[in-house]
A and B are shown apart, each in its own frame.
Chain A
Amino acid sequence: MRYLPHTRDDIETMLKVTGHSSLDDLFAGIPDHLKTKQGIDIPESLSEWELNTHMEALASLNIACKTYKCFIGAGSYDHYIPAIIPYLISRSEFMTAYTPYQPEVSQGTLQGIYEFQTMITELLGMDIATASHYDCGTALAEACLIALRKSSTDNKIAVSSLVHPSHRQIIQTYIRPAGFEMVEIPYTKEGLTDIAALEQMKGIAGIAVQSPNFFGNIEDLKAFKTITEAKNILFIVSFTEALAYGLLKNPGSLGADLVAGEGQSLGLAKSFGGPGLGLLAGTHKQMRSLPGRLIGKTKDANGADGFVLTLATREQHIRREKASSNICSNNGLNAMTAAMYLATAGKTGIREIALQNHDKAEYLKKSLMSSGFLPAFHTPFFNEFVMKVPENFEKKRKTLIDDHCVFAGLNLEPFYPELKQHYLFCATETISKDDIDNLAKEVRS
């Protein structure tokens, strides 16, 4: 096997040094009754040729050919990835390093993540961003735990029903065992979180609102801030489409105490939903409650600038059962990818891409309306929106996938049973006017 370098001579020489008669003898200390009686029942090894054939066959069972068109977002977005990004991120010094525990030989990762933290705070208008989390859902669950632990009296977190359905499920999984409860804030007929309903809620330690929300609509975050200030509780904002903040007012400027987001849009492949990139940011006040790694700037023994993992006393390996979280490995390489993407796009690039996302989505909405679709809401959105579809749409949608590899929207009924015949559509900068015109033609009733 090409990954195992030992020759027969090597093994013999080494066994002499260790004082064992054979490789099996190395395991003599394990009592026989604990050893397995059967080998491992998996297929024989494949050569690289066989592996390529096998894997391409599997990959082609997914309808995700190069020419496919994806009008689905809902937490995973089809954005263009510039050629330099996969090229640079595949440098093995980034990819094959461990967590930067030895800073003298990890300055590449450390400076890169420090730059990432900085650009994320810039994007979100926050004071501090962590070195990353697994995904938005887990980052949001951790943010909810921060709010819940801060309160000595209240054990409920109010979460908008327009937070991504999976994220609400993750919050439930994370908070329930510790005796906390999640209450959902209903949504209005404008497709926005119902502030009036929230005002009536009692015993809540914090609120979480997604903007743009799951329907794509832009929430009035300032109005929520007024309520959290009055109640003296934490205001958590989440998002699944990071590029929205190339255009929209950032959550920091609207009063968020904590922001949890998904960074997949920043140069990462959809990859069937993972690995993505969990973003978590907070105000200065939250610095010591934030879970996960942080990189800080310092000096070396010669007075030169350098970077280290810092504030580690919050973390599991030191504070153990009192740690703010058990997270250790995060999604570091994807944070580095996102940093590369943000540096590549720059200030002008990110604004132009964000504008184009919005323009395409508006054009798609208008085109679908002319094909007999009805808008579910008349609320400003970024690159996703909800439409009521004609009767025969589901059948046409399937034909479009089978014949043209076009995914026309996401059925919302499984997530919101009251929304029968409602689909969530998304358009990004990768969708051309022709793609939209073709879709509108195909689905015309």
Chain B
Amino acid sequence: MIQQPGTSGLIFNEPLLWEKSRMGRCAMSLPKPDVDRNALDADLTGDAPNLPELSELDVVRHYTRLSQWNFGVDSGMYPLGSCTMKYNPKTNEVQAARQGFSGAHPLSGDEFSQGALKLMYNLEQFLAKITGFHAVTLQPAAGAHGELCGMLMIHAWHARNGRQRSKIIIPDTAHGTNPASASLCGYESVNIKSGPNGILEPETVAAAMDEDTAGIMVTNPNTLGLFETHIKEIADIVHSKGGLVYGDGANMNAIMGIVKPGEIGIDVLHLNLHKTFSTPHGGGGPGSGPVAVGKTLEPFLPVPRVVKDLNTYKFITDCPDTIGRIHTFYGHFGIMVRAYSYILSMGAQGLTDVSKLAVLNANYIKESLKGTLNLPYDRPCMHECVFNDEFQKQYHITTMDMAKRLLDYGFHPPTVYFPLVVEGAFMVEPTETESKENIDQFIHAVKSIAQEAKDNPEQLKKAPRLTKVTRLDEVLAARKPCLRG
């Protein structure tokens, strides 16, 4: 008998901050004034903002209770497809908190910031080696920001060549952010379909590619968890018509040490340090989305760039073809420290093992659950696999019902209803840091839920039951938006 982690426990209610507020409390130790008060003109000053007034214990208890309503990777398995929710090593936090890093002012000057510059330079080199590219920028603040950065470079490259193009090809298996990133550059998306086995066919790309098309945005492995085996032919087709290939590297966790995107025809690739390189996602960021490029696009990288000059490091901004600046300073340095620590902790062999075990875990789940849930594309997968609710439809049970029921079993649900190419998608990415026992528990939970779908569908409709709140009314939230207290 497998014991599932989900159980009920004592959960505390906790009101909104201002409901606890009592006039006259303050949770902050204020410094004693040691210089004279020097009042500003009364015309310029306003009333103090009406913030809640609390004691220190009020604040501590408030956030401790709130935290207990959350599910994190440290709470349990979080097989959220496309998000790579692997374990976030704690030593990375220790490294980022070192005074020399966390206390450094961004405008201290190169001479006094050699540690930060050296770390950034080394991290760029590591990422270039891992992806097979020539140069890297660490400036983008998140994956979508990296995507925008990459598309801006493609746009600038076409402009430099003297003829701007108007379209970009985006397959149905690409990430959801791609069309929005392209349209920020003024490109119209041309959507193309993947073939019957879930991957792109060169003929489809050839039919869509013309000399008014700036290039193609490819996610590889794609959002079905399948490797695009025709990537080289596709890149050749796009290049022969004067276009460039954008690679979405959000799924890099599947191929480290196996495939280097820079060697197979991709011109520019973004990475997500908060996916592949183990930095915490923080309930929605801060992430970091470095961009790697080949020699063609290197002159277009954002400034400032960090360079090594003998044994010292410095920022340069004198790059005539650059797309410009995309972050106030140099990007999310604190996240870079964590990713750098991770890469040093793993080494080359460790990173290769990561990808092998991530792919093993996903294939193991795919094989173990394919009789339980429908598997629209039954092919060897990479780091994630996509099922749907086809088998459960006869009981009027949906992917959403199964996802919510998984919460009661103590698991974070997989990504649901994405990718759009699979109706009712249930997208599982276990990552390499989950052990066989955890995965067996998860498989057992899904099988139990599939059985409940037959025997007791009502139980699924009412799930989750053990959480702080039950299913929430999203229609009410959107019809009558209440965005502040």
Q: How far is the CA of A86 from the CA of B74 in the complex (A)?
A: 18
Instruction: Tell which of B96, B256, B348, B403 has the most Cβ of chain A within 10 Å.
Output: B348
Contacts of A61 in B (CB 8 A): 100, 114-115, 118
Chain A CB within 8 A of B394 CB: no
Closest to A305 in B: B469
CB distance from A175 to the nearest CB of B (A): 10
Q: Assess whether B104 is in contact with A72, with CB atoms less than 8 Å apart.
A: no
B145-163 interface code vs A (CB 8 A; 1 in, 0 out)? 1011000100110000000
A6-36 interface code vs B (CB 8 A; 1 in, 0 out)? 1000110111011110011011111101111
Q: Assess whether B330 is in contact with A349, with CB atoms less than 8 Å apart.
A: no
B449-485 interface code vs A (CB 8 A; 1 in, 0 out)? 0000000000000101001111111101110011111
Contacts of A123 in B (CB 8 A): 49, 51
Contacts of B404 in A (CB 8 A): 104
Q: How far is the CA of A348 from the CA of B55 in the complex (A)?
A: 12
Flag the segment in B125-133, B205-213, B239-247, B291-299 that touches A. Answer: B125-133
9 pairs, A vs B, C-beta closer than 8 Å: A63-B113, A88-B60, A118-B485, A122-B51, A123-B49, A274-B141, A333-B286, A334-B282, A348-B24
Q: Assess whether B106 is in contact with A317, with CB atoms less than 8 Å apart.
A: no
Q: How far is the CA of A359 from the CA of B287 in the complex (A)?
A: 37
CB neighbors of A among B408-458 (8 A):
412-413, 415, 418, 432-436
Q: Which of B16, B51, B284 contacts A100 (CB 8 A)?
A: B284
Chain B CB within 8 A of A179 CB: yes
Q: Assess whether A344 is in contact with B59, with CB atoms less than 8 Å apart.
A: yes
CB neighbors of B among A323-343 (8 A):
323, 325-334, 336, 340, 342-343
Identify whether the interface residues of B are mostly helix, strand, loop, or mixed.
loop
Contacts of B231 in A (CB 8 A): 34
Known contacts A72-B107, A173-B326, A346 near B112 by CB under 8 Å: no
Contacts of A250 in B (CB 8 A): 46, 49
B262-298 interface code vs A (CB 8 A; 1 in, 0 out)? 0110000000001000101111111110000000000
Q: Assess whether A59 is in contact with B72, with CB atoms less than 8 Å apart.
A: no
CB distance from A282 to the nearest CB of B (A): 11
Instruction: Tell which of B28, B145, B484 has the most Cβ of chain A within 10 Å.
Output: B484
Q: Assess whether B142 is in contact with A3, with CB atoms less than 8 Å apart.
A: no
CB distance from A390 to the nearest CB of B (A): 20
Contacts of B9 in A (CB 8 A): none
Contacts of B25 in A (CB 8 A): 346
Q: How far is the CA of A293 from the CA of B409 in the complex (A)?
A: 29
Chain A CB within 8 A of B54 CB: yes
CB neighbors of A among B28-68 (8 A):
28-31, 33-38, 40-41, 44-46, 48-54, 56, 59-60, 62-64, 66-68
Closest to A274 in B: B332
Closest to A47 in B: B345
Chain B CB within 8 A of A377 CB: no
Q: How far is the CA of A88 from the CA of B428 in the complex (A)?
A: 31
Flag the segment in A90-98, A190-198, A224-232 that touches B. Answer: A90-98
Chain B CB within 8 A of A172 CB: yes
CB distance from B118 to the nearest CB of A (A): 6
Flag the segment in A106-114, A152-160, A201-209 that touches B. Answer: A106-114
Chain A CB within 8 A of B376 CB: no
Interface residues on B, range: 35 or more
Chain B CB within 8 A of A306 CB: yes
Q: Which of B17, B115, B283, B482 contacts A333 (CB 8 A)?
A: B283
Closest to A45 in B: B347
Q: Assess whether A326 is in contact with B184, with CB atoms less than 8 Å apart.
A: yes
Q: How far is the CA of A115 from the CA of B59 in the complex (A)?
A: 13
Chain A CB within 8 A of B323 CB: yes
Contacts of B341 in A (CB 8 A): 51, 55
A27-60 interface code vs B (CB 8 A; 1 in, 0 out)? 1111101111001111111101001101110111
Chain A CB within 8 A of B27 CB: yes
Chain A CB within 8 A of B101 CB: yes
Known contacts A97-B281, A137-B327, A340-B63, A20 near B478 by CB under 8 Å: no
Q: Assess whether A272 is in contact with B333, with CB atoms less than 8 Å apart.
A: yes
Chain A CB within 8 A of B189 CB: yes
CB distance from B112 to the nearest CB of A (A): 4
Chain A CB within 8 A of B192 CB: no
Q: How far is the CA of A321 from the CA of B178 in the complex (A)?
A: 8
Q: How far is the CA of A400 from the CA of B152 in the complex (A)?
A: 42
CB neighbors of A among B79-110 (8 A):
80, 83, 85-89, 91, 93-108
Q: Assess whether A51 is in contact with B484, with CB atoms less than 8 Å apart.
A: no
Contacts of B126 in A (CB 8 A): 42
Q: Assess whether A34 is in contact with B259, with CB atoms less than 8 Å apart.
A: yes
Chain B CB within 8 A of A174 CB: yes
Closest to A124 in B: B49
Chain B CB within 8 A of A295 CB: yes
Q: How far is the CA of A296 from the CA of B244 in the complex (A)?
A: 41
Q: Assess whether A40 is in contact with B30, with CB atoms less than 8 Å apart.
A: no
Chain A CB within 8 A of B395 CB: no
Contacts of A23 in B (CB 8 A): 356-357, 360
CB distance from A149 to the nearest CB of B (A): 11
CB distance from A442 to the nearest CB of B (A): 17
Q: Assess whether B472 is in contact with A346, with CB atoms less than 8 Å apart.
A: no
Q: How far is the CA of A134 from the CA of B145 in the complex (A)?
A: 9
Closest to B83 in A: A98
Q: Assess whether A271 is in contact with B102, with CB atoms less than 8 Å apart.
A: yes
Contacts of B156 in A (CB 8 A): 177
CB distance from A44 to the nearest CB of B (A): 5
Chain A CB within 8 A of B229 CB: yes
Chain A CB within 8 A of B219 CB: no
CB neighbors of A among B1-40 (8 A):
14, 16-18, 21, 24-31, 33-38, 40
Known contacts A349-B28, A358-B38, A296 near B287 by CB under 8 Å: no
Q: Assess whether A45 is in contact with B40, with CB atoms less than 8 Å apart.
A: no
Q: Assess whether A349 is in contact with B95, with CB atoms less than 8 Å apart.
A: no
B215-248 interface code vs A (CB 8 A; 1 in, 0 out)? 0000000000001010110000000000000000
Q: How far is the CA of A411 from the CA of B66 in the complex (A)?
A: 44
Q: Which of B17, B26, B328 contacts A166 (CB 8 A)?
A: B328
CB distance from B262 to the nearest CB of A (A): 9
Q: Assess whether B105 is in contact with A4, with CB atoms less than 8 Å apart.
A: no
Q: Assess whether B468 is in contact with A410, with CB atoms less than 8 Å apart.
A: no
Q: How far is the CA of A75 from the CA of B437 in the complex (A)?
A: 49
Chain B CB within 8 A of A131 CB: yes
Chain B CB within 8 A of A355 CB: yes
